[in-house]
């Protein structure tokens, strides 16, 4: 029978055979390439029992409106079975400006929660036991400041820092590559991350001070290969920076974590997660020779692909998310967020986010895929695809090494151009109907049934600005100014800034004030035009 197409390929452009056999694994060694779960090179997972021992953390991304609004959503999700928190911040917060900054007008609370001060952070986590719930915070440029607020809340409650568990995204390199939300130039940004990692290694040992994020690289239009390569290489760049700062690799590497996209190309995504663990274990071993096995174990969070969701026929997004979530689970993720069906239209409603959570719970409890560790291990197709993804990523590593590392590559526009080319190629395939997206370029409906969406009222901005005004009136301005000045001195002379950031937020300096003070020391960054 004639085949439907002359060529079958993955989303990364890898040609797919009609059938896979042992011939596709001629030089493959199960001992070297696969191993046992919980053993080097960790292809089959970082823990021997994986989900037979403990299910992944179900961590729905949540944040909108005021701190009080998001606090209610957190409690709603915990009530319905979520076992970890994940905070989405609004654009002003992500860019390190206060709610009363003119540039923030019209953006307060619209794409996440508005956080301008320690007072806001206290309200955000009111009634939530920080020593019993893990918290992930998606924040980058001002990550150290937001983290300082979180630590200050814990200290005010009498919670020992060594009990805190969670993740700070804090991956600035992917901002220059893909998401474009930076505050400072690359070098001082790396220094801030190094400071955060060093501080956590000593004071907050259960915390992951940086979540190296491929998610946003993929959302910018990259292939799975590019997401894999650039993310792992970013991680190696952070390791190199911290080692150069004098911290032994085994002191901090076990606290590093990763964040990957779970896209719709089912088997390629499964292979990507498996290849990521193997690649990290091998490269860390080769480059830094750690002695602690945990230093080479890649632990990751996954989120289903936001860029795959469609405004057309939004109910279809439930199916897309289910397939993507299943790929992440079969790939061996440690925690997972499932996107809500309405996220192309607005922030998710309670009903939509509950359905997204239920999707994870059904996979965990009803599908049977958690009964065996790495149930696809040994599949000719999956193993061959895992090998090809790893090989393609290693080729990128070689090119990045030749350029002098990721910072130099970013300055030359290399990863940016690669992602741009990939995104343009994908768009051309859609326009030519070489790739089908149901409801967009095939099975299109002329009339769409509207669905309910969450709307953020202007009162959120008015109230947030009012709270900031009250804070500035009642705080000890002399004490605040002194704390900010000490922070600037520490930043100038190379001291670890984390203790000074904690002091500054306790003195009720705002996010915008602190970031502005650091810009005076570190400067700002303007991206080079990439052609």
Is position 94 within any domain? yes
pLDDT of residue 185: 92
Predicted confidence (pLDDT) at residue 447 exceeds the cutoff of 90: no
pLDDT band for position 253 (cuts 50, 70, 90): very high
Give whole-number Cα distances, 5 to 73, 424, 435, in Å. Answer: 47, 22, 11
pLDDT of residue 111: 87
Q: Give the whole-angstrom CA distance, residue 261 versus residue 227.
A: 8
Q: What percent of the chain has pLDDT over 90?
A: 88
Predicted confidence (pLDDT) at residue 255 exceeds the cutoff of 90: yes
Q: Give the whole-angstrom CA distance, residue 142 versus residue 522.
A: 13
Task: Check: CB of residue 403 under 8 Å from CB of residue 414.
Answer: yes
pLDDT in tens, 86-95: 999 999 999 9
Strand partners, 168: 137
Predicted confidence (pLDDT) at residue 338 exceeds the cutoff of 80: yes
Q: Give the whole-angstrom CA distance, residue 346 versus residue 74.
A: 18
- CB count, 10 Å around CB of 349? 18
Is position 479 within any domain? no
Strands (E) located in 380-458: none
Is position 497 within any domain? no
Task: Give the mean pLDDT of 418-445.
Answer: 95
Predicted confidence (pLDDT) at residue 443 exceeds the cutoff of 90: yes
Predicted confidence (pLDDT) at residue 531 exceeds the cutoff of 70: no
pLDDT band for position 267 (cuts 50, 70, 90): very high
pLDDT of residue 530: 60
Q: Give the whole-angstrom CA distance, residue 44 versus residue 376.
A: 9
Is position 140 within any domain? yes
Is position 111 within any domain? yes
Is position 338 within any domain? yes
Q: Give the whole-angstrom CA distance, residue 400 versus residue 394.
A: 10
Is position 466 within any domain? no
Q: Give the whole-angstrom CA distance, residue 469 versus residue 186.
A: 33
Strand partners, 260: 302
Q: What percent of the chain has pLDDT over 70?
A: 99
Q: Shortest CA distance to 328 belongs to which of 281, 265, 377?
A: 265
Predicted confidence (pLDDT) at residue 193 exceeds the cutoff of 90: yes
pLDDT in tens, 476-515: 999 999 999 999 999 999 999 999 999 999 999 999 999 9
pTM for the structure as a whole: 0.94
Predicted confidence (pLDDT) at residue 110 exceeds the cutoff of 90: no
pLDDT in tens, 363-386: 999 999 999 999 999 999 999 999
Structural domains counted in the chain: 1
Q: Which domain holds residue 299?
A: 39-431
Look over the chain and give the mean of its residue pLDDT values, rounded to a whole number: 94
- Provide the CATH number for the domain around residue 290: 3.20.20.240
pLDDT of residue 254: 97
pLDDT of residue 347: 83
Task: Give the mean pLDDT of 325-350.
Answer: 94
Is position 13 within any domain? no
Annotate 119-152 with b (16+ C-beta within 10 A) or e (fewer). bbbebbbeeeebeebbbbbbbbbbbbbbbbbbbb
Task: Check: CB of residue 520 under 8 Å from CB of residue 488.
Answer: yes
């Amino acid at each position: 029978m004639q085949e439907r197409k002359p060529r079958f390929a993955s989303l990364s452009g890898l040609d797919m055979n009609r059938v896979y056999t042992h011939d596709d694994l001629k030089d493959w060694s199960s001992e070297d390439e696969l191993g046992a779960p919980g053993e080097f090179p960790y292809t089959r997972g970082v823990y021997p029992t994986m989900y037979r021992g403990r299910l992944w953390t179900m961590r729905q991304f949540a944040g909108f409106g005021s701190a009080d609004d998001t606090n209610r959503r957190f409690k709603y999700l915990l009530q319905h079975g979520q076992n970890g928190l994940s905070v989405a911040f609004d654009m002003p917060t992500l860019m390190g400006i206060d709610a009363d900054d003119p540039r923030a007008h019209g953006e307060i609370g619209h794409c996440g929660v508005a956080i301008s001060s320690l007072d806001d952070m206290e309200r955000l986590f009111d009634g939530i036991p920080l020593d019993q719930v893990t918290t992930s915070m998606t924040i980058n440029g001002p990550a150290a400041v937001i983290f300082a607020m979180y630590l200050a809340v814990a200290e005010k409650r009498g919670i020992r820092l060594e009990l805190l568990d969670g993740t700070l995204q804090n991956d600035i390199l992917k901002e220059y590559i893909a998401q474009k939300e930076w505050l400072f130039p690359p070098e001082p940004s790396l220094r801030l991350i190094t400071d955060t990692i060093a501080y956590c290694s000593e004071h907050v040992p259960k915390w992951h001070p940086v979540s190296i994020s491929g998610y946003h690289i993929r959302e910018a239009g990259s292939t799975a290969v590019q997401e894999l390569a650039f993310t792992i290489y970013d991680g190696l760049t952070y390791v190199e920076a911290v080692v150069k700062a004098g911290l032994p690799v085994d002191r901090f590497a076990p606290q590093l974590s990763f964040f990957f996209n779970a896209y719709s190309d089912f088997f390629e995504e499964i292979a990507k997660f498996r290849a990521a663990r193997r690649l990290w274990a091998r490269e860390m071993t080769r480059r830094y020779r750690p002695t602690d096995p945990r230093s080479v174990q890649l632990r990751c969070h996954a989120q289903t692909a936001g860029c795959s969701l469609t405004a057309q026929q939004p109910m279809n997004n439930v199916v897309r998310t289910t397939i993507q979530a299943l790929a992440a689970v079969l790939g061996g993720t440690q925690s997972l967020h499932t996107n809500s069906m309405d996220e192309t239209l607005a922030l998710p409603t309670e009903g939509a986010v509950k359905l997204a959570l239920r999707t994870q719970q059904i996979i965990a409890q009803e599908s049977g895929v958690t009964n065996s560790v790495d149930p696809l291990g040994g599949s000719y197709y999956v193993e061959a695809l895992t090998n090809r993804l790893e090989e393609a990523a290693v080729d990128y590593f070689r090119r990045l090494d030749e350029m002098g590392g990721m910072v130099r590559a970013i300055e030359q526009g290399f990863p940016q151009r690669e992602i741009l080319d990939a995104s343009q190629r994908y768009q051309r395939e859609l326009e030519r109907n070489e790739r089908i997206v149901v409801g967009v370029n095939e099975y299109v409906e002329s009339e769409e049934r509207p669905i309910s969406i969450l709307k953020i009222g202007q009162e959120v901005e008015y109230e947030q600005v009012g709270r900031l005004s009250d804070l500035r009136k009642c705080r000890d301005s002399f004490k605040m100014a002194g704390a900010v000045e000490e922070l600037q001195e520490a930043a100038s002379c190379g001291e670890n800034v984390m203790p000074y950031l904690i002091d500054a937020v306790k003195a009720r300096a705002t996010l915008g004030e602190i970031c502005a003070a650091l810009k005076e020391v570190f400067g700002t960054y303007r991206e080079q035009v990439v052609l």
